[in-house]
Amino acid sequence: MLKAIEKALLLQEFEILRFASTDLLMQLAEVSHEEAFRAGETLLCLDEPATRLLLLVLGEAAFEGSEESSLRKTALNLWPCLAGARQPATCRCVTDCTVLTFPAEDLMDLLSDEPELSLALLRYSACQHLAHPA
């Protein structure tokens, strides 16, 4: 099991949290849950409710039917989780994986209580939009 400080160090490597302060990363680390999955196991199932955010910290995963290569160090379902939507695709482990999970309710509470998190996610979204305009 990772300690909170180890989780915070891993979280700072995520693009979605690049604008977050050390204090915020520690708060996120403290509410996160560590889960291990074996290669071939399912991380997300198509059409299931997005009840928790998954951050892939170790290993590789891939969405079924995606032409993209394996994913590493990424948020797997940020937008469905924030929208209270269903998973748009199934995601499986390509290798053994470790994820940090955040229950959607805890994430929404943090967004309400910590404007810095809202701003960090908004800045991330703006950068993504500017890099890949519609």
Give the pLDDT confidence score for residue 65 in this predicted structure.
83
105: nearest Cα among 124, 84, 74, 131: 84
Q: pTM for this one?
A: 0.89
Give the pLDDT confidence score for residue 132 in this predicted structure.
77
* Continuous H helices in the chain: 4-11, 22-31, 78-83, 104-113, 115-131
Once rounded to an integer, what is the mean pLDDT over residues 27-31? 92
Once rounded to an integer, what is the mean pLDDT over residues 24-36? 94
Model pLDDT for residues 100-119, shown as the tens digit of each residue: 999 999 989 989 999 999 99
Distance CA 27, CA 8 (A): 8
Q: In Å, what is the CA distance from 75 to each residue of 53, 95?
A: 7, 17
- The answer to whether the beta carbons of residues 70 and 91 sit under 8 Å apart is no
Distance CA 54, CA 32 (A): 10
Say yes or no to pLDDT of 95 above 70: yes
Instruction: Give the confidence band of 44 by pLDDT, cuts at 50, 70, 90.
Output: very high
Complete domains list, the chain, with CATH: 4-126 (2.60.120.10)
Say yes or no to pLDDT of 127 above 70: yes
Residue 74 bridge partners (DSSP): 56
Distance CA 18, CA 25 (A): 10
Give the pLDDT confidence score for residue 134 in this predicted structure.
62
